[in-house]
Structure 1
Amino acid sequence: MGWLMALLILALLVGVPVLVYNKLVAAKNQYQNAFAQIEVQLKRRHDLIPNLVEAAKAYLSHENQTLVAVTQARNAAVAALQAAHAAPQNPAALAALVGSENQLLQALKGLNVQLEAYPELQANENIKQLSEEIASTENRVSFARQAYNDAVMGYNTTRQSFPYVVLAGFFGHKQDAALLQFADSETIQNSPKVSF
């Protein structure tokens, strides 16, 4: 009977840490996958913007400052996305990403104002199509951000719950994952609407 009790205790001592480790790894992989989905959508938007700028250049040659601002904001957003990709668990990298994406959204809003001032642009099919693709991508980014934040909350809740909190640090899960928090909730709710 004593050996059965010893075997049960040994099974608990080995089994619980294995279960805790596996659950933490699964939760971390979920939020990292969710970030990868955001990355896909942001890259798509970043790839569409130069096409929109090129299409608008012929009509907005005298509005060069707006086009330069969009291009610079896009380049900063691409760099911030690459830095966040390298360390998605780094709150500073995510904060830099959020800041650069907010600047890009503001630059796109400025471009939208310029585009609306030219009726001939409203009739341009290429610009219409690019604008619709960017608006569609903005919706996808919003959904991906929500999925990421949900996955981060799941990871953080798991990591902070008993018995995970006891073993999390030992298994390398020493800090919570960072949410993508925006200084202005309007940024998420009101994606840039480029329409003609």
Structure 2
Amino acid sequence: MNTKITLLLAASFIAIVAVFGVALILVHNGIVDADKRVEEAKAQIGAVCQRRLDLMPNLIETVKAYAAHEKSVLTSVTEARTHAQNTLDRLARDGYTPETMKALETSQAQVTSSIRGIFALVENYPDLKASSNFLALQDQFEGTENRISVARQRFNSAVRIYNSKIEKFPGVLIAPIFGYQEAEYFEAKEDAYEPVQAKF
């Protein structure tokens, strides 16, 4: 009889350990998946910001042909683009950390401001506003601004899901064991990430 009880207790203990092990694996894998979605969303923000930077030289050249004497505006756009490109290069090199994400936010705010300056400048040049090259660029910028907004929303959604997984039970017990920490949301500076208004 004692042998049967001992075997039953041993089997029960093994079953409990197995259930706990499976639960640990499932929770850990869920956190890993959520973390990977956050990383993917960060990379998408970088990709759409790069698209915007890639469009800027075409915009500058198009405007330059009409407004060559507006050098200060064109220079500020070029400088903002260079700073933002350096930031994206740093992200590619160093990875997406809270510090590099803040640098990305700041550099993209400067880009947004400089693009607004170009579009304000265009108001003084009716021929430029009617140029097919400029109109095509305007459409591409508007599409890119929408992509940036969507990428930012997806990132923040992925961060919310990830943070929920590591803050809810049993993730709150498991996440610290594997070094998972709360992720920060992508927050724009005031109106920095509102779409550039380019209505003519």
How many residues were matched structurally? 192
User: Pick from 121, 124, 129: which aligns with 2:131?
Assistant: 124
AA matched with 2:20: L
Residue 70 of structure 1 aligns to a residue whose secondary structure is helix
Equivalent residue number for residue 95 of structure 2: 87
The farther-off stretch of 52-61 and 4-13 is 4-13
AA matched with 1:94: M
AA matched with 1:176: E
Distance across 2 between alignment mates of 1:18 and 1:33: 22
Residue 169 of structure 1 aligns to a residue whose secondary structure is helix
- The 8 Å contact of residues 59 and 134 in structure 2, kept in 1 or not, is answered as yes
Distance across 2 between alignment mates of 1:113 and 1:101: 18
Q: After the TM superposition, which residues 21-170 of structure 1 pair with which residues of structure 2 at under 5 Å, given as runs? A: 21-85=28-92, 86-88=94-96, 90-170=97-177
Runs of 4+ off more than 3 Å: none
- The 8 Å contact of residues 45 and 134 in structure 1, kept in 2 or not, is answered as yes
Distance across 2 between alignment mates of 1:75 and 1:161: 42
Normalising to structure 1: TM-score of the pair?
A: 0.92
Runs of 5+ unmatched residues, structure 1: none
User: Pick from 190, 193, 198: which aligns with 1:194?
Assistant: 198
The farther-off stretch of 122-131 and 12-21 is 12-21
User: Pick from 178, 184, 191: which aligns with 1:178?
Assistant: 184
Equivalent residue number for residue 15 of structure 2: 8
Q: How much does 1:16 deviate?
A: 2.2
Q: How much does 1:27 deviate?
A: 0.3
Distance across 2 between alignment mates of 1:119 and 1:183: 32
- The 8 Å contact of residues 156 and 176 in structure 1, kept in 2 or not, is answered as yes
AA matched with 1:112: F
RMSD, matched Cα: 1.4
Q: How much does 1:43 deviate?
A: 1.2
AA matched with 1:111: I
